[in-house]
């Protein structure tokens, strides 16, 4: 006999752009919102009874409704605000999960100060947040970055690993280290300054990556996580996923040319995947 197990439903990839107009400048945000609700929805699955189902189209409209009156200065604040709205207005909901991704629009700088109403995309990465709260409980907030593309051409090696009859990889004392990192951190305090914490965490991650004398992706990942914890006492742990996006030395010998670590073939499939959580 079948029974319904854990279930949830929601609306994904709700696109939202927002202009905040100040007297001397505008701020521009572009967000992608994801909503998931848990609650008393069993009858909609087992009895075709939709009487407690909030349409996902209404969820989409709720995003714009809440955004219109929102004073949130960051994606964390907006996610909490939106989640509180669903819990306050939908008594059948027992838990809400909200995810928000933010594109990296920044004021354009040309020859003088930044243009007050003109913007450019500063990078491919997305700022992220995932929040969840059960009714009557506290919010759990996990902020992060998705798709942080970084690369270094020195201070990167990989030697001393296991070599068996199937090993063809040659030890490298000077290799390209490139990654598209996904990073998420969890707070140990309620209502921190999310914007300031993000600034310090990202700064520490980038500074450590640039300066680190890497003996492996694992080695650099741990020290980047440690640097982030040192920079932001308000976070309890940080998780980093850092695929090793390889750049393979091109064989130019068929053309009668040498290749003194100069010409490479970039590949992203297959790639090594290294991930870990660094915590206090």
Same domain membership, residue 119 and residue 78: yes
Instruction: Provide the 8-state DSSP code for 172.
Output: B
What is the per-residue pLDDT across 182-231, written as a single tens digit (0 to 9) for each? Answer: 999 999 988 899 999 999 999 999 999 999 999 999 999 999 999 999 99
Same domain membership, residue 125 and residue 167: no
Structure tokens at 80: 């909490």
Same domain membership, residue 195 and residue 167: yes
Compute the distance between CA of residue 145 and CA of residue 130 in angstroms, rounded to an integer.
11
Q: Has residue 40 been placed in a domain?
A: yes
Catalytic residue among 11, 38, 60, 212: 11
Assign residue 24 the CATH number of its domain: 3.10.270.10
Element (H, E) at 73: none
Q: How many helices (H) and strands (E) does the chain have?
A: 5, 10
pTM for the full predicted model: 0.94
Compute the distance between CA of residue 13 and CA of residue 29 in angstroms, rounded to an integer.
15
- Predicted confidence at residue 219, as pLDDT, reads 98
Same domain membership, residue 120 and residue 75: yes
Give residue 124's pLDDT band: very low, low, confident or very high (50, 70, 90). very high
Give residue 111's pLDDT band: very low, low, confident or very high (50, 70, 90). confident
What is the per-residue pLDDT across 246-279, written as a single tens digit (0 to 9) for each? Answer: 999 999 999 999 999 999 999 989 999 999 999 9
Catalytic residue list contains 62: no
For the chain, the domain total comes to 2
Give residue 154's pLDDT band: very low, low, confident or very high (50, 70, 90). very high
What is the extent of the structural domain holding 236? 147-279
Same domain membership, residue 125 and residue 52: yes
The 8 Å CB, 24+ separation contacts for 55-58 are: 56/9, 56/10, 56/11, 57/11
Same domain membership, residue 193 and residue 77: no
| pLDDT tops 90 at residue 112 | no
Catalytic residue list contains 71: no
Q: Has residue 238 been placed in a domain?
A: yes
Same domain membership, residue 275 and residue 156: yes
Among candidate residues 138, 168, 202, the one where a domain is terminated? 138
Q: Tell me: cis bond preceding 270? Omega within 30 of 0 counts.
A: yes
Q: Has residue 159 been placed in a domain?
A: yes
Same domain membership, residue 35 and residue 122: yes
Element (H, E) at 96: strand 93-107
Q: Has residue 43 been placed in a domain?
A: yes
Same domain membership, residue 134 and residue 167: no
Q: Has residue 3 been placed in a domain?
A: no
Give residue 236's pLDDT band: very low, low, confident or very high (50, 70, 90). very high
Catalytic residue among 26, 56, 103, 219: 56
Catalytic residue among 38, 60, 212, 246: 246
Q: Has residue 1 been placed in a domain?
A: no
CB atoms within 10 A of CB 237: 17
Catalytic residue list contains 170: no
Same domain membership, residue 153 and residue 119: no
């Amino acid at each position: 006999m079948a029974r319904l197990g854990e279930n949830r439903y929601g609306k994904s990839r709700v696109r939202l752009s927002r202009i905040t107009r100040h007297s001397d400048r505008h701020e521009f945000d572009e967000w992608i919102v994801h909503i998931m609700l848990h609650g008393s929805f069993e009858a909609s699955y087992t009895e075709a009874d939709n009487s407690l189902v909030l349409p996902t189209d209404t969820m989409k409209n709720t995003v714009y409704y809440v955004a219109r009156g929102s004073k949130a200065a960051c994606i964390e604040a907006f996610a909490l605000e939106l989640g509180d709205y669903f819990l306050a207005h939908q008594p059948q909901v027992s838990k809400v999960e909200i995810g928000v991704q933010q594109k990296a629009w920044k004021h354009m700088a040309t020859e003088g100060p930044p243009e007050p109403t003109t913007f450019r995309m500063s990078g491919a990465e997305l700022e992220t947040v995932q929040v969840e709260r059960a009714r009557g409980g506290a919010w759990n907030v996990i902020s992060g970055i998705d798709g942080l593309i970084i690369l270094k051409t020195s201070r990167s090696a990989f030697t001393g690993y296991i070599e068996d009859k199937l090993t063809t990889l040659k030890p490298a004392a000077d290799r390209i280290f490139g990654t598209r990192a996904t990073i998420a951190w969890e707070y140990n305090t309620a209502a921190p300054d999310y914007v300031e914490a993000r600034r310090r965490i990202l700064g520490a991650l980038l500074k450590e990556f640039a300066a680190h004398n890497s003996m492996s992706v694992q080695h650099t990942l741990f020290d980047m996580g440690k640097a982030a914890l040192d920079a932001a006492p308000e976070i309890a742990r940080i998780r980093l996923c850092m695929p090793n996006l390889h750049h393979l030395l091109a064989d130019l010998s068929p053309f009668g040319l040498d290749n003194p670590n100069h010409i490479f073939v970039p590949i992203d499939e297959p790639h090594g995947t290294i991930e870990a959580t660094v915590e206090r």
